[in-house]
Amino acid sequence: MTKYVINGGRPLTGTVTISGAKNAAVAIIPAALLVDGVCRIENIPEISDVTMLLNIVEQIGAEVRVVNRHTIDIDSSRVQTTDATFSLMRRIRASYYLIGALLGRFGRANVAMPGGCNFGGVRPIDQHIKGFTAMGATVNVQNGIVMAHTPNGRVKGATIYLDVVSVGATVNIMLTATLAEGRTVIENAAREPHIVDLANFLNSMGADIRGAGTNVIKIRGVKKLRGGFYSIIPDQIEAGTYMAAVAATGGEVLIRNVIPKHLDCISSKMREMGVEIEDYADSVLVRRTGPLMRTNVKTMPYPGFPTDMQPQISTVLCLAEGTSVVTEGVWDNRFKYVDELMRMGGRIHVSGRTAVIEGVERLTGACVKATDLRAGAALVIAGLSAVGRTEVEGVHYIERGYENFVGKLKALGADIDSITVPDDGMAEREAV
Ligand code: EPU
């Protein structure tokens, strides 16, 4: 088992470079299955979710060539199978994008449902299925496998109103609709930066998608996509996580390779808390010298405050003067990590989707366990700011989504190490 050992209390200083966006990469890799040719994808983050997804597309017949650490070629011209039911599929939530990609390209797909539920709640796919069905597919879920097929091998464009703003359903419908017959309209679509990135990727390969980034996306089906080059956007949440780390520890860090506009929702909250943030063309300078002030946060779909930053901001608010209220507006149960923060001296009371956080002067080091990716990042931030030694277990979650987290933090002056100890056999694996 690998764990992180942190001796906290050091302010972060220096420069950190943000990697490509995880949630864009995990949509764009399956999207490459729609392309009849070679896609060169740059700025791929080196994280385990990407490795798993590349294994998955290889298993169904795509050729993946690693050009360098952050660039790959995917050639899907010889993919013929519509079956992705092997066990690896259950390890990663984004494997459900294979349904949209295979259904869109071949008119049928048998895909294993991703297992687990990392926030302790149900993660339904009813809106995805609503989209596939509206486009003429018959969809059945049996023995953990989603089986979708169309009578004549090609889906048909349709107008789909999403009952909830869902990133996954928006992506899956875009993938299905790209090669469909006719025009698809997604109403109440998600507007996250990675939705726009997926649309830009598909358009650069010959798709006709308009409106991504607004809540109405219009897709005119095309017969074929050709190969091309694409570079993935920087990771908004990785950048936000370093911003939160600086807020918690104090210090001054230049965060490079970001799109400051994507960070506005995070920056504006942090400014309210007394963190100084200066925006430049493709970087932000984050500085915290004075005390942290309380605030209230409610997570919402983009451009609201991101749910994937909720554990990190809650950790920072543990150190703010006064009482803050954090309301989770996207997921039913995303406060599992709070028990671990309380072991470090955090004063938090959770009731349903709301956490009331009473600021303390300092957190204290403890042995804690990550329950999911962002919870893990939050515990690392807590450890960096705490007095004494913190051990964070369950780091496989963190490594699903943060490239070289330990190395990047060390370069900012953190005292953090990744150590491997004999496994107690209790490690759990869940899908993000
Ligand atoms: N929902 C439904 N029905 C559906 C789909 C979603 O009711 O068919 C509900 C969910 O239960 C949830 C809300 O809609 O309450 C939003 O879910 P969404 O579909 O947007 O989430 P997702 O696509 O499964 C992605 C990210 C998550 C991120 C959410 C929200 C990926 C691979 N995952 O999940 O990222 O929290 O959007 O922004 O893109 C992470 O990176 O740590 C992570 C969990």
Mean pLDDT by 10 residues, the chain (432 residues): 97 98 98 97 97 95 97 96 88 92 97 69 87 98 93 96 98 98 98 98 98 98 97 98 98 98 98 98 97 98 98 98 98 95 98 98 98 97 98 96 98 98 62 48
Nearest CA to ligand 1 atom 36: 308
d(Cα 261, Cα 252) in Å, to the nearest integer?
20
Q: Ligand 1 centroid vs 141 CA: distance in angstroms? A: 20
pTM of the model: 0.96
Closest ligand 1 atom to residue 301 Cα is: 38
Q: Ligand 1 centroid vs 414 CA: distance in angstroms? A: 32
The pLDDT score that the predictor gives to residue 122 is 66
Q: Ligand 1 centroid vs 424 CA: distance in angstroms? A: 32
The pLDDT score that the predictor gives to residue 426 is 53
Q: Of the residues 56, 92, 164, which should be mutated to test ligand 1's pocket, given the most ligand atoms within 8 Å of the CB?
A: 164
Q: Ligand 1 centroid vs 330 CA: distance in angstroms? A: 8
Closest ligand 1 atom to residue 237 Cα is: 41
Q: What structural domains and CATH numbers belong to the chain? A: 2-19+234-431 (3.65.10.10), 22-231 (3.65.10.10)
Nearest CA to ligand 1 atom 29: 167
Nearest CA to ligand 1 atom 15: 331
Q: Ligand 1 centroid vs 125 CA: distance in angstroms? A: 9
Residue 35 identity: V
The pLDDT score that the predictor gives to residue 10 is 98
Closest ligand 1 atom to residue 374 Cα is: 42
Nearest CA to ligand 1 atom 25: 167
Cα 35 from chain centroid (whole Å): 24
Residue 152, Cβ density class (10 Å: 0-12 exposed, 13-18 middle, ≥19 buried): exposed
Q: Does 117 qualify as catalytic in the annotation?
A: yes
Structure tokens at 340: 């671990």
Q: Ligand 1 centroid vs 205 CA: distance in angstroms? A: 26
Half-sphere exposure of 8 (CA within 13 A, CB side): 27
Catalytic residue selected from 117, 265, 318, 367: 117
**What would you report as the CA-atom Rg of the chain, rounded to the nearest whole angstrom?**
21
Nearest CA to ligand 1 atom 33: 23
Q: Ligand 1 centroid vs 235 CA: distance in angstroms? A: 16
Closest ligand 1 atom to residue 93 Cα is: 32
Q: Of the residues 125, 167, 374, which should be mutated to test ligand 1's pocket, given the most ligand atoms within 8 Å of the CB?
A: 167
The pLDDT score that the predictor gives to residue 120 is 52
Q: Of the residues 19, 22, 23, 266, which should be mutated to test ligand 1's pocket, given the most ligand atoms within 8 Å of the CB?
A: 23
Pocket of ligand 1 (CB under 6 A): 23, 26, 93-94, 123-128, 164, 166-169, 190, 307-308, 330-331, 373-374, 401, 432
d(Cα 390, Cα 345) in Å, to the nearest integer?
12
Closest ligand 1 atom to residue 128 Cα is: 8
d(Cα 371, Cα 118) in Å, to the nearest integer?
7
